Structure 1
Amino acid sequence: MSLGRLFLVPTPLDFGVDSSLPITAWLPDATLRSASTLTHWISENAKSTRAFLKRVDAVLPLAAPLQAQQISELPRSAHKKGDHRPDAELDRAARALLAPALQGHDMGLVSEAGMPAVADPGSAVVRAAHALGIEVRPLTGPVSLMLALAASGLNGQQFAFVGYVPQDAAERTQRLKALENTALKLQQAQLLIETPYRNAALLAALVQTLQPGTRLAVAAGLGLPAQAIRSATVADWRQHPGWAGALPLNLPAVFMLGG
Structure 2
Amino acid sequence: MEIALYLLPVTLGDTPWEKVLPGYNKEIIVGIRHFIVEDVRSARRFLKKVDKDIDIDALTFYPLNKHTSPADISGYLKPLEGGLSMGVISEAGCPAVADPGADVVAIAQRKGLKVVPLVGPSSIILSVMGSGFNGQSFAFNGYLPIEPAERAKKLKQLEQRVYAEHQTQLFIETPYRNNKMLDDILQNCRPQTKLCIAANITCEGEFIKTRSVKDWKGHTPDLTKIPCIFLLYQ
Q: Do these two structures clear the TM 0.5 threshold for a shared fold by scoring above it?
A: yes
Match of 1:229 in 2: 208
Q: How many equivalent pairs are there?
A: 233
Match of 2:100 in 1: 121
In 1, distance between residues paired with 2:8 and 2:131?
26
Match of 1:67 in 2: 57
**1:251 paired to 2:226:** yes
1:188 to 154, 158, 167: 167
Match of 2:5 in 1: 6
* Aligned pairs (5 A) from 1:73-92: 73-77=63-67, 90-92=69-71
In 2, distance between residues paired with 1:172 and 1:104?
48
Match of 2:144 in 1: 165
Match of 1:208 in 2: 187
2:17 to 16, 23, 29: 23
Query: Percent of aligned pairs with the same residue?
Result: 38
Unaligned runs of 5+ in 1: 79-89
Query: 1:84-121: CA deviations, max 9, x gaps?
Result: xxxxxx43222111111011110001100000111211
Shift of 1:75: 4.1
Letter in 2 for 1:256: L
1:142 to 121, 143, 146: 121
Query: 1:180-238: CA deviations, max 9, x gaps?
Result: 11111000000101110111110111111100111110100111111111111111112
- CA pair 76-186 structure 1, distance change in 2 beyond 3 A: closer
Q: Answer yes or no: is the 8 Å Cα contact 2:173–2:228 preserved in 1.
A: yes
Q: Answer yes or no: is the 8 Å Cα contact 2:38–2:64 preserved in 1.
A: yes
Q: Answer yes or no: is the 8 Å Cα contact 2:37–2:62 preserved in 1.
A: yes
Normalised TM-score (structure 1): 0.86
Letter in 1 for 2:231: M
In 2, distance between residues paired with 1:251 and 1:119?
18
Question: Structure 1 runs of 4+ off > 6 angstroms?
Answer: none
In 1, distance between residues paired with 2:228 and 2:179?
10
Q: Answer yes or no: is the 8 Å Cα contact 2:65–2:100 preserved in 1.
A: no
In 2, distance between residues paired with 1:158 and 1:54?
38
Normalised TM-score (structure 2): 0.95
